[in-house]
Structure 1
Amino acid sequence: MPRASSTPRSSAYLSALTQEIQKKLQRALGSPSQRRNLLQELFADIALEVDDRAKDIILSREEDTISPADDGRDGQLCFYDVLADYYVGVPESGKAILDLIVQLWSQSFASHIFALLFHKWLFEVEVDNSEILLRYSSALVQGATNVFWIDIQTNTRRFQTLFSYLLEEVVLVPARLNKIPVQAQRDLYLLLSRFILFYNSADKLEGFLKQFPAFTNAFFVGGPADVFVIELTDQLQKLKVEPVLLYYLSQIKVLQGMELRMATSTRLKTCLYSFTSPGGPMYPTRAVRHAAWDALDFLFPVAISMVLALFLLEFPNLLHKDNIVFSVRVNLFPLGKADKAEEAVTRRITL
């Protein structure tokens, strides 16, 4: 992803953006009745993709360096991306905004804004106070959870760069991860476990599990793979957007070969089975049912075979007990003329 340049023109533009953000936060602080709307508007503004005019300013280079067109790096660039870099490069520029967010801490969208603007600052700028670190890291996890769910609900990946940073530049880099308290580290791992498949990062799963922190309930729950699958299973049961659920079910095949406790394996199997039947509580569509069967067949081929074997074993008994009746009724005759044909066109087989 392109990064903001440090030219005077770019810095002036980002400084002006920072002042606008600060003004809107001050308005929200001083207007309780409009607070939620103002914070929601601010969140939407910083989540916007950078337009071409602004991109020319933000990514401008000095004459003796390569231009954005020659940079060779493609991808969506949002305002929060460049502002997050700016607050790392010029930490004092974001201090006023951070102080205002802290005063609005309990308000809707405050954690969203904090996570987008200060996720890099938290890990790349020195923060000595452990109590503040705990507060900020908790807000980061909460805010990241909220914005990732927005992507889930809209089936978009606008916050892909936030996820990628937390996974590749924090979780897989112990020196940065260890900056935040242990409980926050665990919460961050649980969060990423739920969204790692959605954000196309299955190829990082092996390294992700190797870095998994120790959990106090590991004796009862199991190892990293068990914790990961439990979180993933819970996530599947919360998904209501069909394309997203189908994508998860297609990606879940990466679990093949994982060593899991029996309880974890059963939990996953039960979850997948819940998507194979029409009706409640999941009310899956036909496409979801087929995808769930495919996932079951891939991950638990023996289990599927056992179900079929049990059915075939019971089938003769059901037939013998007159419990299965096949009836085909075809009504092709005008009213009043079907009686004589009924015997010919209706077959009732009791085996």
Structure 2
Amino acid sequence: MQHQQEEASPRRRSSAYLNALSLEIEKRLQRALASSSQRRNSLQELFADLALEIDDRAKDIILSREDLISSAEYSVNDRLCFYDVLANYYVRVPLRGKPILDLIVQVWSQSFASHTFALLFHKWLFEVELDHADVLLRYSSALVQGATNVLWIDIQSNARCFQSLFKYLLDEVALKPTRLNKIPVQAQRDLYLLLSRFIFFYNAVEKLESFLKLCPTFPNAILVGGPADIFVTEVADQPASKIKSGASPAALSCSD
């Protein structure tokens, strides 16, 4: 009994800490929504804070031993960010993420809204059961847009702050057909093109063969060729792509 109580106490502390973080995110999104003049800066600051590394003291509060093992799989050089643990939290407690999701939708046209959605809800989209096809279509398109913006920040700053996001989308979605098939076919294609652009940057070449084998069907395949042709075209076109992430590298304080 005493042992069970000792185990429950850290779990309660972790839950309370993550709940407090979620409430703070809600408040900051509400402030952004209320002030059009400060909206962009507020969203940029929130995004940058989500990308901060968690210090050891906070790790001790937030993570159980099992969480540490699970999170280590996607951390980079033992670097664990707030968005990593919050993304897991919103899978375990989806209702806690709903107010945040609703607020993000209300500021969607603003810079950094899609970035924040991708950081916080990339796991939720694939690991929580969503009922409506139109919801899946809307949020899967939003994820690809947000992830594109986020990963380009790493390219621009030559850092790997968001490698855990890329790694999850590659390992746990693109290479797992049961999850990939959860989203509409067009979103699958868009995700494939997105990951193609960054697979070399994030040093995931050893997974290229499996990645190509699981390439979704493209309607214009007769014209553009097979998976390898599509991949090469996407990689070759990357330097010419002028996708604006809306964030300067200086907005983030991380390094690889």
Task: Tell me if 1:140 matches 2:132.
Answer: no
Choose which of 74, 81, 84 in structure 1 pairs with 2:84. 81
Q: Secondary structure at the match of 1:33?
A: coil
1:9 alignment counterpart: 13
Task: Evaluate the alpha carbon distance shift between residue 10 and residue 211 of structure 1 in structure 2; reply closer, same or farther with a 3 A threshold.
Answer: same
1:105 alignment counterpart: 108
Task: Tell me if 1:36 matches 2:40.
Answer: yes
1:219 alignment counterpart: 222
Gaps of 5+ in 2: 1-8, 243-256
Choose which of 150, 157, 182 in structure 1 pairs with 2:153. 150
Choose which of 57, 61, 72 in structure 2 pairs with 1:57. 61
CA deviations on 1:304-333 (whole Å, 9 max, x unpaired) are: xxxxxxxxxxxxxxxxxxxxxxxxxxxxxx
CA distance in 2, matches of 1:83, 1:36: 22
Q: Which has the larger radius of gyration?
A: 1
CA distance in 2, matches of 1:104, 1:6: 35
CA distance in 2, matches of 1:72, 1:147: 21
2:249 alignment counterpart: none
CA distance in 2, matches of 1:72, 1:26: 32
1:288 alignment counterpart: none
1:22 alignment counterpart: 26
- The answer to whether the Cα contact below 8 Å between 2:175 and 2:214 also exists between their aligned partners in 1 is yes
1:160 alignment counterpart: 163
Task: Tell me if 1:48 matches 2:52.
Answer: yes
CA distance in 2, matches of 1:163, 1:27: 30
CA distance in 1, matches of 2:198, 2:230: 14
Gaps of 5+ in 1: 240-351
Q: CA deviation at 1:131?
A: 1.0
Q: Percent identity?
A: 72
1:229 alignment counterpart: 232
CA distance in 1, matches of 2:228, 2:10: 43
Q: CA RMSD in A?
A: 2.1
TM-score, reference length from structure 1:
0.63
2:129 alignment counterpart: 126
Aligned residue type for 1:130 = A
Task: Evaluate the alpha carbon distance shift between residue 67 and residue 86 of structure 1 in structure 2; reply closer, same or farther with a 3 A threshold.
Answer: closer
CA distance in 2, matches of 1:133, 1:149: 24
CA distance in 2, matches of 1:93, 1:67: 19
CA distance in 1, matches of 2:67, 2:33: 40
Q: CA deviation at 1:78?
A: 0.3
Task: Evaluate the alpha carbon distance shift between residue 223 and residue 35 of structure 1 in structure 2; reply closer, same or farther with a 3 A threshold.
Answer: same
Q: CA deviation at 1:58?
A: 1.1
- The answer to whether the Cα contact below 8 Å between 2:72 and 2:78 also exists between their aligned partners in 1 is no
Q: CA deviation at 1:237?
A: 4.0
Q: CA deviation at 1:130?
A: 1.0
Matched length = 230
Q: Give runs of aligned pairs for residues 291-306 of structure 1, distance below 5 A.
A: none
- The answer to whether the Cα contact below 8 Å between 2:10 and 2:61 also exists between their aligned partners in 1 is no
Q: Secondary structure at the match of 1:83?
A: helix
